[in-house]
Amino acid sequence: MIFNGCGEYLLHLRDNIPGIVEPGAWSLLGGGREPGDRSLAETIVRELREEAGLDIPALEPFAVNEVVDSESSAFSVQIFAGRWDGDPSMLTLTEGIMLHWFRPDVLPRLRIAPSITSLIRRHARTITRP
């Protein structure tokens, strides 16, 4: 979960292809653990670099979220949060369609999993802004 100093959250428009979780929906960046990953923290650092060329220096564990895939199998996902104040149009996206900043109040207008909306709203309440 990447957020900026304006209280916006970076969301990823997923490819609309069968077999992936939430095809064609807005989601958080991330991915699965690979054999070479020594920890979940290492996994998210690798995934952000691979998917978007993003390097977030201070990622902190925020929550564990339950996800259901297209075959109705449930699994747990560790959610990390970190601040980045960059321009997503300058990133090289290797998966999905696009990245965009959104304020929490516009999330109900998006095609997005309710669990992600809930996570973002919960995180937004923890942030103090000037």
Through-space distance between the first and last CA atoms of the chain, rounded to whole angstroms? 21
Question: What integer is the mean pLDDT of 5-33?
Answer: 89
**pLDDT tens digits, 69-103:** 556 677 788 999 999 999 999 999 998 999 999 99
**pLDDT tens digits, 21-61:** 788 899 999 888 888 889 888 999 999 999 999 999 889 99
**Coil, strand or helix at 107:** helix
Indicate whether 129 pLDDT > 70: no
pTM attached to this predicted model: 0.88
**87 CB contacts (<8 Å, ≥6 apart)?**
none
pLDDT of residue 127: 83
Angle CA 87–63–101, to nearest 5? 20
Q: What DSSP character marks residue 32? A: -
**pLDDT tens digits, 114-125:** 989 999 999 999
Whether domain 2-124 has CATH 3.40.50.150: the reply is: no
Question: Which DSSP helix (H) or strand (E) runs through 9?
Answer: strand 9-13
